[in-house]
Structure 1
Amino acid sequence: MAGFSAHRIANASVYLDGNSFFGRCEEIDLGSVKTVMSDFQGLGLVGLIELPDGIDKLEGKIVWNSLYYDAAKKLATPMKSVQLQCRSSVQVVNSSGLVDEIPLVTMMTVTFKEYALGNYKPRDPSKFESPFSATYVRQILNGEEIMLLDYLSNIFKVGGVDQLSKYRKNIGQA
């Protein structure tokens, strides 16, 4: 009988343009790949259904535990994209304890949308939020590509399977 194993991610590290920001981020939200849906109604259908229309914009944010000059230079430049990488270790646990740790790497091309100047209170550490929009994301778990989404090249792969090959062919892009 095969045993159950739980996967757990409890921490991560953030890199901007290849530079480590170890210990300087309090939180990162990489966003969600969301499908844009629209209602479809047709004669003879007993109800209204939703059909996919494409992929929504991808937005996320980094919460910094202070202001750092090397990060601020990248965050305050809205006309230049930044290579963001989030690396974490997935703990694999079963009934005998920790049995493995596997890498999870998410690579994104992002543009920061706001530059926070700060909010200050006595005896309360300041936090700085940096929302971003992404045009590229690639996620790899233990060496296996989960997803690749390149908005500007009309590329969307899940588990290595091209989800848009017929679409690109139909519009003369293949």
Structure 2
Amino acid sequence: MAGFAAHRITNASIYLDGADFFAKSEEVDLGSVKAVTSDFQGLGMVGLIELPDGLDKLEGKIVWNSLYAEAGVKLASPFKTVQLQCRSNVQVFNNGGLVDELALVTFLTIMPKEYGLGKFKPRDPNKPETPFSAIYVRQVLDGREVLLLDYLANIFRVDGEDQLAKYRKNIGQS
């Protein structure tokens, strides 16, 4: 009988354009790769189904624990991209306890959507937020590329398999 291994991620650190922002953010939401779908119905079909039409925009958010000038100058302009890297540790447990730790690294090219100036209340810490959209994402777990999505180059790979090779060929981009 094969043993079960539980994987757990409990923390992360972020980097902007290679600069370490250790302990300066409280939360990061890297977003989700989502399909855009439309309904499909045909004569003789007893039901309606959804089929993918492409990929939706990728949006996320960084919640800061304060205002930091070194982050602000990178994120104040919506016209410039920023390289966001999120690094985390995946703990692997089995019936013997902690048996391994794996690196999970997510690389994104982001464009800030807002620059919050702050909300202030007595005895309540200001937690500025930076919502963003991403035009590129690459996720690597323990050295293995899980996902690569480059919106502007029409590249979408899952586990190294090009999901859009025929599409690019059919529209003359190969």
TM-score normalised by structure 1 residue count = 0.99
User: RMSD value over aligned CA atoms?
Assistant: 0.6
| Superposed displacement of residue 2, structure 1 | 2.2
State the identity as a percent: 72
1:158 equivalent in alignment to 2:154: no
| Superposed displacement of residue 75, structure 1 | 1.2
1:81 equivalent in alignment to 2:71: no
Separation in 2 of the partners of 1:107 and 1:75?
A: 16
Could you report, residue by residue, the CA deviation over 1:100-141 in whole angstroms, capped at 9, with x for unpaired residues?
100000000000000010011111111011000000000000
| Superposed displacement of residue 94, structure 1 | 1.0
Separation in 2 of the partners of 1:39 and 1:6?
A: 37
| Superposed displacement of residue 87, structure 1 | 0.2
Q: Which residue of 2 aligns with 1:126?
A: 126
Counting only pairs closer than 5 Å after superposition, residues 21-170 of structure 1 correspond to structure 2 as 21-170=21-170
SS in structure 1 of the partner of residue 71 of structure 2:
helix
**Counterpart residue identity of residue 86, structure 1:** C
**Counterpart residue identity of residue 48, structure 2:** L
| Superposed displacement of residue 43, structure 1 | 1.2
Separation in 2 of the partners of 1:120 and 1:8?
A: 35
Gaps of at least 5 residues in structure 2 are none
- Greater alpha carbon shift after TM alignment, 41-50 vs 69-78: 41-50
Q: Which residue of 2 aligns with 1:7?
A: 7
Task: Provide runs of 4+ in structure 1 moved above 6 Å.
Answer: none
SS in structure 1 of the partner of residue 168 of structure 2:
helix
Separation in 1 of the partners of 2:41 and 2:9?
A: 42
TM-score normalised by structure 2 residue count = 0.99
Separation in 2 of the partners of 1:172 and 1:44?
A: 35
Could you report, residue by residue, the CA deviation over 1:19-45 in whole angstroms, capped at 9, with x for unpaired residues?
000000000000000000001111111
SS in structure 2 of the partner of residue 152 of structure 1:
coil
Gaps of at least 5 residues in structure 1 are none
